[in-house]
Structure 1
Amino acid sequence: MPFATTADQAKIYYQVRGSGEPLVLLSGQANTHHWWDNVHADFEDDYLTIVLDYLGTGQSDKPADAEYSVRRFAGDVIAVLDDLGIARAHVYGTSMGGKVAQWVAIDHPDRIGALVLGCTSVGGTRGLRADAEVTRSLAQPSADAAREALIDLMYTPEWVRTHPGPYVTLGGRMPHHARRGHLRASNGHDSWAELDRVTAPTLVLHGADDIFSPAENAAILAGRIAGAELYYLEGARHAYFEEQQAESSGAVLRFLAEHPLS
């Protein structure tokens, strides 16, 4: 199995499919590469797609004493590219993966082609967080009730009625220390002061009805990156990339085609 070794000697699992210019797909918080299972095929005919398990998830190492931060995860992405011998790649990150993607673009501008940021935020005091009612719905003592609340944040009831699951975006099993580390990493993200350093062509997508990461975050983020394009998916919630797959994947493919690596 393919593993990249990070600066602190952690092993990061990754998969590669398809052919063409390289495209890294970055998952949401506390999720493995399976986040992309239902969407992956949209890109692999045109791109060499790379997915990975973050530190603490899936088949990657899960050390208790490691740093868990989105900026660290961005460095782990570079370790994967180095392991593959890839100098530059496009990067598409959703939810926490969009935060990781921001730091790839900020810290490693020479390694990135086009940048796509989905259902994500600048974080810090400038980013908008889910309101208290949403937070309470996910903190219920009943695991089943919390799961149903998360499904409702991800997808519209109409879509759920015709797509009964299983849902690949709800997170997987991971040690408690790693789950806490992912929560701290995502909540600790604050890229506002650094985003003006992003030089990659950037597309920002967001479900217009997303309250998990409030939809206004898209305009805040796009407004901070010079020349960024903004695209709302009407009627979509947090998992816009699945519920409105044809439209969202089409928008991403058009953008990538407009901004080739060479």
Structure 2
Amino acid sequence: MPQILVGDLNVHYELKGNGDPLLMIMGLSFSLLDWGDELPNELAKQYQVILFDNRDAGQTKSSSVKNYTIADLADNAAGLLKELGIKQAHVFGVSMGGMVAQQFALRHPDKLNKLVLGCTMAGGACSIPANLANLVGGSLLDFLFTSSYLADPDNKKKAQEFLAKTSLFHSKEDGFIRQMKAIASHDICNVLPDIKALTLVITGDSDVAIPPENSDVLVQKISGAKLAMIKGAAHGFPYSHAPEAVKLLTDFLS
């Protein structure tokens, strides 16, 4: 996969398909591989899907080790579009990537078409705190998927094999800490109404990482935003419930 220079970052990215551009922003620690194959490949049948590794994740490299904010990550994402010659895109962010997508909508509205926020939160006093404990020495399976999903032996085996492959590209200790600090500083409760893009908010009804009530807050504060709740899904719905996610996205973006 190619890399491109965006400021002080050598951004690792991948393009799939043709059509209206769709920038997909991954969450805390994870790389572009953590989308899995099904969701991006299905979306690429209708859109030009742009996947990339955030700062301090995957194979994106920087000579800088300074701390940064979610707003900085949004500027990185906008910079990637600029370097790729893409003037405007739909943006879909999950978890921390959903926080980045919120800041993208606020800071770069001219580059944004429609906005999709997945399993994410506004931060600050209007949010129910995230539970990220299982990302640190816990079970990623339990963090991402429901017990009922994992009760199917085939699902569990596929998920274990998937995480064994993708975890090699998750953030290392220092980078993980910098991303956590960025999340801790995220608070846009008071400016959420300034997001003017058409917005869809997606969450799993069984998400223990970022409680679904956070999606209610986003829908209440972003004018005209719509909520889609995926039954039986947790924080890893883009992988475990890819067909449902594809339908929600394509129905909204088309």
Q: Secondary structure at the match of 2:80?
A: helix
> Structure 1 residues 33-42 or 94-103, which shifts more?
33-42
Deviations 1:21-40, CA, capped at 9 Å, x for gaps: 00001111011111112321
Q: Find out whether 1:82 has 2:94 as its counterpart.
A: no
Number of residue pairs aligned between Structure 1 and Structure 2: 246
1:167 to 162, 182, 192: 162
Unaligned runs of 5+ in 1: 258-262
Tell me the distance in 1 between the aligned counterparts of 2:190 and 2:10. 31
Against the structure 1 CA distance between its residues 138 and 177, is the aligned structure 2 distance closer, same or farther, given a 3 Å change threshold? closer
Q: State the Cα distance separating 1:232 from its structure 2 match.
A: 0.6
Partner of 1:200: 197
Tell me the distance in 2 between the aligned counterparts of 1:154 and 1:42. 21
Q: Which runs of 4+ in 1 moved over 6 A?
A: none
Q: State the Cα distance separating 1:170 from its structure 2 match.
A: 5.5
Against the structure 1 CA distance between its residues 110 and 125, is the aligned structure 2 distance closer, same or farther, given a 3 Å change threshold? same
In structure 1, what residue type is equivalent to 2:67? Answer: E
Q: State the Cα distance separating 1:247 from its structure 2 match.
A: 1.4
Cα contact 2:35–2:238 (8 A) shared by 1 = no
Tell me the distance in 2 between the aligned counterparts of 1:208 and 1:138. 20
In structure 2, what residue type is equivalent to 1:68? Answer: Y
Cα contact 1:209–1:234 (8 A) shared by 2 = yes
Tell me the distance in 2 between the aligned counterparts of 1:233 and 1:106. 27
Partner of 1:31: 30
Partner of 2:146: 156
> Structure 1 residues 60-69 or 83-92, which shifts more?
60-69
Q: State the Cα distance separating 1:224 from its structure 2 match.
A: 0.9
Q: Secondary structure at the match of 2:211?
A: coil
> Structure 1 residues 82-91 or 170-179, which shifts more?
170-179
Q: State the Cα distance separating 1:157 from its structure 2 match.
A: 2.4
Q: Secondary structure at the match of 1:166?
A: helix
Q: State the Cα distance separating 1:173 from its structure 2 match.
A: 4.2
Tell me the distance in 2 between the aligned counterparts of 1:167 and 1:184. 27
Tell me the distance in 2 between the aligned counterparts of 1:4 and 1:66. 21
Cα contact 2:31–2:170 (8 A) shared by 1 = no
Q: Find out whether 1:114 has 2:114 as its counterpart.
A: yes
1:217 to 214, 219, 223: 214
Tell me the distance in 2 between the aligned counterparts of 1:78 and 1:235. 33
Q: State the Cα distance separating 1:55 from its structure 2 match.
A: 1.1
Tell me the distance in 2 between the aligned counterparts of 1:243 and 1:12. 27
Tell me the distance in 2 between the aligned counterparts of 1:43 and 1:173. 24
Partner of 1:260: none
Deviations 1:71-102, CA, capped at 9 Å, x for gaps: 11111111111111111000001111100000
Q: Secondary structure at the match of 2:162?
A: coil
Q: CA RMSD, aligned part only?
A: 1.9
Cα contact 1:151–1:170 (8 A) shared by 2 = no
Tell me the distance in 2 between the aligned counterparts of 1:15 and 1:197. 31
**Share of identical aligned residues, percent?**
30
Could you tell me the TM-score, scaled by structure 1's length? 0.87
Could you tell me the TM-score, scaled by structure 2's length? 0.90
